[in-house]
C-alpha cells in the first residue's frame, strides 16, 4: 500500500505551542496534493513529520508502513523533501548530484539532464555561491531526477520566475503521470490550480478539509450568482464577493452538476466559513 499515513498525530514544539492534536490524513500514490493554510498553521510542520524530520509527540506517521521518524533507509529512499529555505555545501550541482544520487535507487541520469535543461539550471558553479532562486531550481531538478515515490515540496515556486514556474508545472505533471505523488505546500494558491487533484486545507485547529477536487466540485458550487438566486436559498453563501460582473462566490452545490473548482475562492471560503466547510466535508478533529 503506497501511502503516507498520519494517525492521530500530535505535535508540540519544545517551547510550548501545540501545532497538531489528533491529525489523521492519508496520502496516496499518483496524486498531486495541494497543502494550503495561513501562516503558522503547521504546513511545514506537517511536511517535516511526513519526511521523518520531526518526531510526532503523539500518534504516528508512517511511510508505506514504516514509521517515518525511524528514518529507515528503505523509507527515506522513497521520498525527497525540499524545505522552503535551505543551505547547501560548497559544491557544484553536478558534484552534489554525483555524491548524493547513489542513495536513490530510482535516480535517473536522463531525467536529471532533462530537468536541468527545463529549469535552466547552473550546474558547474558552487551551490553556496548561487542566488536563492538558482539554488531552488538546482535542487528541484535534482529532486525530480531522484524519481522518489514521494516528493514533498515546501513553497517550491517561491523565488522562481515565470519561465521556471511553467517548467515546474510541466515537470510536476509528468512526474505524477508516472504514478508518483507530489505534495506541494504553498501560499500561491493560483499557481497550483493547474496541478492539484487533491486539496488539504489546514487551520489552527487541524484539518479543515481533505478532499479531491472532484469531490469538492460535487459538494460546492463556484461561480456567479444573481440576487434572485441568492434570495431563494435558505443558507448564506460560504464566500461571496461583489465584482463589476456581479456577485461571485462559493455556495453549497444542490444540483447534480459538478462545478469547476476555483481554489482561490475555496481558500477564501475556508477562512470565512471554516466550521461550515468542516461540517460539510465531515472532517473530524479532536
Partner 1 sequence: MNTIIAYARKHFTEMRRNYLSTFAGLFLIALCLPLALREMLGMTSEVGGEVMMCLGWASVLILTSNAFREWYTPGYDAFCLTLPISITRRVIFLGVTSLVISILSAQLFFWATYYGWQLFAGFNCLDLQDDPMDIVLRLSLVQVVIHSLLMVCYSRGGRSRSWWLILGGLAAFYFLLNIPEMARWVSDLHTSFPNLDNQLRLLGENWSIVLHNRPLGAATEVVEVVSCASIVVAFYLSAWCGFKEREARK
Partner 2 sequence: MTMIFSDDKPIWQQIYDMAGDRVISGDFREGERVPSVREVAAEIGVNPNTVMRSYERLQMDGIFESRRGIGLFCSVGAREKILATRRESFFCEQLPALSERMKQLEIEPEQLVDELIKIRQQ
217 binds, among partner 2, partner 1, none (CB under 5 to 8 A by kind): partner 2
- Give min distance, CB of 150 to partner 2, in A: 17
- Give min distance, CB of 177 to partner 2, in A: 5
Q: Which is nearer to partner 2, 63 or 263 (CB)?
A: 263
Q: Which is nearer to partner 1, 6 or 80 (CB)?
A: 80
- Give min distance, CB of 109 to partner 2, in A: 23
Q: Binding marks (x or -) toward partner 2, 144..173, rule CB under 8 A?
A: -------------------------xx-xx
176 binds, among partner 2, partner 1, none (CB under 5 to 8 A by kind): partner 2
258 binds partner 2 (CB under 8 A): yes
Which positions from 264 through 283 interact with partner 2, judged by CB under 8 A? none
**Cα–Cα nearest to 76, from 59, 94, 100, 98:** 100
Q: Binding marks (x or -) toward partner 2, 180..219, rule CB under 8 A?
A: -------------xxxxx--------------xxx--x--
Instruction: Give the binding site for partner 1 (CB under 8 A).
Output: 12-15, 17, 48, 51-55, 57, 71-74, 76-77, 79-81, 83, 85-91, 95, 99-100, 102-104
Q: Which is nearer to partner 2, 54 or 176 (CB)?
A: 176
Amino acid at each position: 500500500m503506497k501511502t503516507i499515513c498520519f494517525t492521530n498525530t500530535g505535535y508540540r514544539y519544545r517551547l510550548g505551542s501545540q501545532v497538531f492534536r489528533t491529525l489523521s490524513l492519508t496520502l496516496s500514490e499518483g496524486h498531486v496534493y495541494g497543502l494550503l493554510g495561513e501562516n503558522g498553521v503547521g504546513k511545514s510542520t506537517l511536511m517535516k513529520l511526513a519526511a521523518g524530520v520531526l518526531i510526532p509527540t503523539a500518534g504516528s506517521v508512517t511511510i508505506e508502513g514504516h514509521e517515518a521518524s525511524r528514518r529507515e533507509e528503505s523509507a527515506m529512499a522513497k521520498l525527497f523533501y525540499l524545505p522552503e529555505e535551505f543551505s547547501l555545501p560548497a559544491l557544484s550541482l553536478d558534484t552534489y548530484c554525483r555524491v548524493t544520487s547513489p542513495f536513490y535507487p530510482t535516480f535517473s541520469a536522463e531525467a536529471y539532464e532533462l530537468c536541468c535543461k527545463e529549469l535552466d539550471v547552473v550546474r558547474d558553479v558552487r551551490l553556496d555561491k548561487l542566488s536563492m532562486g538558482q539554488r531552488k531550481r538546482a535542487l528541484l531538478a535534482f529532486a525530480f531526477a531522484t524519481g522518489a515515490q514521494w516528493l514533498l515540496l515546501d513553497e517550491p515556486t517561491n523565488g522562481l520566475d515565470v519561465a521556471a514556474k511553467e517548467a515546474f508545472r510541466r515537470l510536476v505533471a509528468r512526474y505524477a503521470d508516472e504514478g508518483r505523488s507530489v505534495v506541494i505546500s504553498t501560499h500561491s494558491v493560483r499557481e497550483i490550480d493547474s496541478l492539484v487533484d487533491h486539496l488539504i486545507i489546514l487551520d489552527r485547529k487541524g484539518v479543515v478539509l481533505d478532499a479531491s477536487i472532484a469531490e469538492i466540485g460535487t459538494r460546492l458550487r463556484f461561480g456567479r450568482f444573481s440576487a434572485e438566486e441568492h434570495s431563494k436559498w435558505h443558507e448564506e453563501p460560504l464566500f461571496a464577493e461583489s465584482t463589476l460582473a456581479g456577485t461571485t462566490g462559493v455556495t453549497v452545490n444542490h444540483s447534480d452538476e459538478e462545478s469547476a473548482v476555483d481554489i482561490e475562492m475555496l481558500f477564501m471560503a475556508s477562512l470565512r466559513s471554516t466550521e461550515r466547510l468542516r461540517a460539510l466535508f465531515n472532517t473530524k478533529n479532536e
